[in-house]
Chains A and B, each alone.
Chain A
Amino acid sequence: MIDWSIIAEALPAFAEGLKTTMMLLAISCGAGLVLSVPLAVARVSPHRAVWGPVWLFTYVMRGTPLLVQLFMVYHGLAQFEAVRESFAWPALRSPWFCAWLVFTLNTTAYTTEIFAGALRATPSGELEAARSLGMSEATIYRRILLPSALRRALPQYGNEVVMMMHATAIASTVTLVEITRVARDVYYNHFAPLESFGVVAVIYFVLTFGMAGLFKLVERRALRHLRPTASGVA
């Protein structure tokens, strides 16, 4: 039923593709993480002028399909002469740059909302205690709000990283040879769906639960203080 020789022959290509997939994931989630912390702080601000633009950004990014966003940048930018003639054009036309830009903006939007939700869930007592000790707002964010909110956001953030890993499959539509593209090439060469898409499905499955396990480990360390104890006494 399954032709193992096709799989064996394609293994090196899958290994190369896996590198590309993981690279895409790392650079997008890395940049997204850096961007979303300040954006989340802005998102929970009481001033409309501050939270409004962030809200609009996350709303638009979360309300449109990633595929369309990617096409808009990858195929779309060439429409503008100013872009084509700018010094940055060699970068802007590369699929790597476009995928990185779009994936970063996309995951930033979701992560910002996750972090903002965690910030809002801060027990008000913690904030009052910090204020009564005379901490400045910046100190409160650095010492009290962010450390505990980012910890609380871990389970959802882990989910987002896994979703992003799945989303990198969309990069296969803009000529990036990540594992889904490898699978599509193997399929077109042999017309063997199980040996191509079946294999890549197994790879994603292993990656998904591997990453979920890793996040569980981190959570167990970082959220130790929230675990119910056997005796019921914290």
Chain B
Amino acid sequence: MLHGYLPAILGGLQSTLAVAATSLAIACVFGILGAAAKLSASRAARTVAGVYTTIIRGVPDLVLMLLIFYGGQIAINRLADAAGWGYVDINPFIAGTATLGFIFGAFLTETFRGAILAIPRGQMEAGQAFGLSRGQVMRRITLPQMVRHAIPGFTNSWLVMLKASALVSIIGLDDMVHRASLASAATRQPFTFYAAVALIYLALTTISILGLRWVEARYSLGVRKVEFK
């Protein structure tokens, strides 16, 4: 199948999944930090988080990726030069995942902020009144309910990020799209290989939608839905 290039494409799938999963983890960290900053009492934290989400919304992900990859490369090398470490080569995997994580962290910031705000304040106050520590209130009351409110926005961000992971091929990562371009050049059948990659992406998005729908149902047990007619 695929002129013997199927294993190569599947190998690329592995690196696509690794990029997407790592970026997601980084994005969640940025998202939680961003949401905490946006809801914090400190004006400086709110400003920093506001600038972060505004800039990310205003610039295409490809441009941010190029800026962080090439700009970061030079910035780190200037630092390394000053410290006398010699030339440092940035690994495209680290650059790609850090960039994607940084970008989608901004989207998750808004998702998480909205989800936290959707939980009635009284619940957290009640928790504190029972003598729970702040961490316990977070772990037992806020987080489990946050999941339910965050899932729709989270699903959306994840799908956009999964598709954006195709861009890492442009900064030299050996992902599915890159493998497909190599196979196309060797076999002169680009349509076949790009179509195969598109189908794999379609399968990934379908699995994600179904999986996250299940999670949402799981976390919405006991929530009554409005029924139309």
Contact = CB atoms under 8 A, between A and B. Distances in A.
Interface in A64-120: 64-69, 71-72, 75-80
A193 B198 contact: no
Nearest to B170: A173
B166 A68 contact: yes
B2 interface: no
Contacts of A62: 205
Contacts of A194: 71
Contacts of A75: 181, 184, 190-191, 194
B189 A197 contact: no
Contact of B197 (A68, A180, A208): A68
B46 interface: no
Interface string A189-224: 001011001101100110011000000000000000
A66 B70 CA distance: 23
Given A167-B60, A183-B63, A68 B194 contact: yes
A169 B66 CA distance: 11
A197 B70 contact: yes
Q: How large is the interface on A (under 10, 10 to 19, 20 to 34, 35 or more residues)?
A: 35 or more
A63 B194 contact: no
Interface residues of B, number: 40
B66 A77 contact: no
Interface string B34-74: 00000000000000000000010111111110110011011
A72 B194 contact: yes
| Chain A binding surface, main DSSP class | helix
A151 interface: no
Contacts of B59: 166, 201, 204-205, 208
Given A68-B198, A170-B62, A204-B58, A193 B71 contact: yes
B74 A191 contact: yes
Nearest to A67: B166
A27 interface: no
B163 interface: yes
Contacts, number: 112
Interface in B184-212: 184, 188-192, 194-195, 197-198, 201-202, 205-206
A173 B194 CA distance: 15
Give the one of A71, A79, A204 with max B CB within 10 A: A71
A204 B60 contact: yes
Contact of B66 (A79, A184, A208): A184
A169 B194 contact: no
B164 interface: yes
A71 B177 contact: yes
A113 B18 CA distance: 31
A57 interface: no
A59 to B, nearest CB: 8
A201 B184 CA distance: 32
Nearest to B57: A208
A11 interface: no
Contacts of A50: none
B64 A201 contact: yes
B167 interface: yes
Nearest to A166: B60
A170 B63 CA distance: 9
B190 A64 contact: no
Contacts of A51: none
Interface in B161-180: 163-167, 169-170, 177, 180
Give the one of A69, A170, A193 with max B CB within 10 A: A193
A141 interface: no
A65 B164 contact: yes
Given A79-B189, A197-B66, 15 more contacts: A63-B201, A64-B163, A68-B201, A71-B177, A71-B180, A72-B190, A76-B194, A166-B61, A169-B60, A169-B63, A170-B167, A173-B170, A187-B70, A201-B67, A209-B58
